[in-house]
Amino acid sequence: WTAAVMVTLAVLSTPGAEGRDSPQDFVYQFKGLCYFTNGTERVRLVTRYIYNQEEYVRFDSDVGEYRAVTPLGRPDAEYWNSQEGELERVRAEADTVCRHNYQSEVRTTFQRLVEPTVTISLSRTEALNHHNLLVCSVTDFYPGQIKVRWFR
């Protein structure tokens, strides 16, 4: 199975904190996403940098470097990719951050099981008014990977 863990940091501007050419109000976001396949057999880290709801640069551990998503991100991607120490640090974060956090969560969140709410109802269709149809609804459960089977 694949799981994703996301960390979001949103920074709202404060008067005087931005440069003279910056708008008065803006939102800057950093999102770090860890994708896990088969536990920690395969780990992928994607970091996204977002300004006013527009992603402008990202790092993907499968690619191994920063990539500009928009022209706004080109200077940052070029600068960060020229810094060997920065690239080594962010490349290592798939292990130092993602795998580390997975081990913490596997003892708590990933072991959490919530029983589903199951409702079975009878429904009649106009076209088949002499036949009845059983409808099964399964909701409010965790984890999301669940199989629903009908037995006679």
142-151 residue pLDDT tens: 566 667 777 7
pLDDT in tens, 101-139: 888 887 777 666 677 788 888 876 666 556 677 788 877
Q: How many domains does the chain divide into?
A: 1
Is 16 among the domain residues?
yes
Q: Which pTM does this prediction carry?
A: 0.60
CATH code where residue 46 lies: 3.10.320.10
Q: What tokens does 143 get? A: 């984890």
Question: What pLDDT is recorded for position 66?
Answer: 98
Q: In which domain, by residue range, is 43 found? A: 2-111
Is 10 among the domain residues?
yes
Q: In angstroms, rounded to a whole number, what is the distance separating the alpha carbons of residues 70 and 54?
A: 9
pLDDT in tens, 61-105: 999 999 999 999 999 999 999 999 999 999 999 999 998 888 888
Q: In angstroms, rounded to a whole number, what is the distance separating the alpha carbons of residues 131 and 144?
A: 32
Is 147 among the domain residues?
no
